[in-house]
């Protein structure tokens, strides 16, 4: 972390977290945030679900909910970027305050509730994004809180926005929209995913569809999700979203309602990832997310079964320079362990997490 970034983060941490995030987005949009170069090498270059990536380090959904700074994010060193979540109609989300820094735990709790400006606004911005940089951009799909047919909401957002993105994620794992996680049940999930995939089948452009799951599933529920994902032929699974667990936290905000992300999520999410890799016999492409704050964390996710990884919460504490640090550190670890390519390391440490 350079001095400018350290000073900026220190200043942002003195104000309300949601306001600070808004200011960070404004600064990025204005072009005043120093952007690290993209770290790449023959070991790091990755082809994932048909997409070419300069490195396997991606940005998780939630940072840019409304696709307002996509062009800036594609210059921030990420191998791929996911924006959203986006719902058919605009919605304000849950009452404030709804975002909390757990500094002692290097964690974050949020209960936003899919606050966003709606799919039409997102689609308009995604249409205008630059394609000069080889960084795939995806969209996280959500459902309106007051919707009578949430499965149909995912289809509507996909229909509207998929022509303008490189992949789409069906997010049924946010804990902040009441009963949303019920869509992870076998029958509901099968119907929802089939609806999205049926729309894709009628389009000229093939858009990879990912499924994002919760870290709080039982072994039986996880096996059910894996079975359905394979049955309908979803392209990849993202493991995992935030957790409702509150194990061994120190911060005074530890009892706040919402999804917990950051360092305390690492072990739980990595075990789910490894279990998914085992359940699918390593054949289902997996994205590892949850608690990544270092190159070693990213490497552990890959060795547990992830082909690529995503991060978000650690940026709150370590800034955008963390992306470059992780990519460089990951490359060094692959070289140290004799892997000629990141794909060769995928799943090699899975048994350590089972």
Interval 56-108: pLDDT, tens: 999 999 999 999 999 999 999 999 999 999 999 999 999 999 999 999 999 99
Q: Which of 174, 277, 313, 321 is catalytic?
A: 174
Q: Is 174 one of the catalytic residues?
A: yes
The beta strand positions in the chain, using DSSP E, are 46-48, 51-53, 57-59, 80-86, 99-102, 107-110, 137-141, 167-171, 209-213, 236-239, 259-262, 286-289, 308-311
Interval 3-62: pLDDT, tens: 888 999 999 999 999 999 999 999 999 998 888 778 999 999 999 999 999 999 999 999
**pLDDT higher than threshold 90 for residue 177:** no
Instruction: Give how far Cα 208 sits from Cα of 136, 143, 285, 324, Å.
Output: 11, 19, 11, 26
pLDDT, mean of residues 177-191: 79
Q: Locate 168 and state its tokens.
A: 């789409």
Q: DSSP for 216-240?
A: T--HHHHHHHHHHHHHHT-SEEEE-
Per the CB < 8 A criterion, the answer to whether 224 and 186 are in contact is yes
Give me the numbers of helices (H) and strands (E) for the chain, helices first please.
Answer: 11, 13
**pLDDT at residue 235, rounded to an integer:** 98
**pLDDT at residue 179, rounded to an integer:** 67
**pLDDT higher than threshold 80 for residue 176:** no
User: The pTM is what?
Assistant: 0.96
**pLDDT at residue 264, rounded to an integer:** 98
pLDDT, mean of residues 204-209: 97
**pLDDT at residue 173, rounded to an integer:** 73
Secondary structure letter of residue 84 according to DSSP: E
pLDDT, mean of residues 137-162: 96
Percent of the chain with pLDDT over 70: 99
Interval 326-342: pLDDT, tens: 999 999 999 999 999 99
**pLDDT at residue 4, rounded to an integer:** 82
Mean pLDDT across the chain:
95
Interval 225-273: pLDDT, tens: 999 999 999 999 999 999 999 989 999 999 999 999 999 999 999 999 9
The 3-class secondary structure across 30-77, one letter per residue, is HCCCCCCCCCCCCCCCEEECCEEECCCEEECCCCCCCCCCHHHHCCCC
**pLDDT at residue 322, rounded to an integer:** 96
């Amino acid at each position: 972390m350079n001095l400018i970034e350290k000073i900026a983060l220190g200043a942002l941490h003195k104000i309300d977290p949601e306001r600070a995030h808004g200011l960070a987005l404004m600064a990025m949009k204005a072009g005043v945030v120093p952007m690290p170069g993209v770290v790449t090498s023959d070991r790091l270059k990755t082809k994932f679900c048909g997409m070419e990536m300069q490195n396997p380090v991606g940005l998780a959904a939630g940072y840019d909910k409304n696709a307002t700074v996509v062009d800036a994010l594609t210059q921030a060193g990420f191998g791929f970027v996911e924006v959203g979540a986006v719902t058919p109609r605009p919605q304000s989300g849950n009452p404030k305050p709804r975002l909390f820094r757990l500094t002692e735990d290097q964690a974050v709790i949020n209960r936003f509730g899919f606050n966003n400006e709606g799919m039409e606004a997102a689609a308009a911005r995604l249409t205008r994004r630059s394609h000069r940089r080889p960084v795939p951009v995806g969209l996280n799909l959500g459902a309106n809180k007051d919707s009578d047919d949430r499965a149909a909401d995912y289809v509507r957002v996909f229909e509207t926005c998929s022509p303008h993105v490189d992949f789409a994620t069906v997010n049924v794992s946010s804990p902040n929209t009441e009963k949303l996680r019920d869509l992870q049940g076998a029958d509901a999930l099968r119907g929802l995913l089939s609806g999205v995939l049926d729309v894709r089948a009628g389009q000229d452009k093939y858009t990879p569809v990912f499924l994002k799951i919760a870290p709080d599933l039982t072994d039986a529920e996880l096996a059910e999700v894996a079975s359905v994902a394979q049955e309908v032929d979803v392209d990849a699974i993202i493991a995992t979203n935030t957790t409702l667990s509150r194990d061994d936290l120190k911060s005074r905000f530890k009892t706040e309602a919402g999804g917990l992300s950051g360092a305390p999520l690492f072990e739980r999410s990595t075990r789910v990832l490894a279990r998914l890799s085992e359940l699918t016999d390593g054949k289902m492409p997996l994205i590892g997310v949850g608690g990544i704050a270092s190159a070693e964390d990213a490497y552990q996710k890959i060795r547990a079964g992830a082909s690529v990884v995503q991060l978000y919460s650690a940026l709150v504490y370590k800034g955008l320079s963390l992306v470059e640090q992780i990519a460089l550190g990951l490359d060094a670890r692959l070289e140290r362990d004799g892997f000629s390519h990141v794909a060769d390391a995928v799943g090699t440490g899975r048994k350590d997490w089972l």
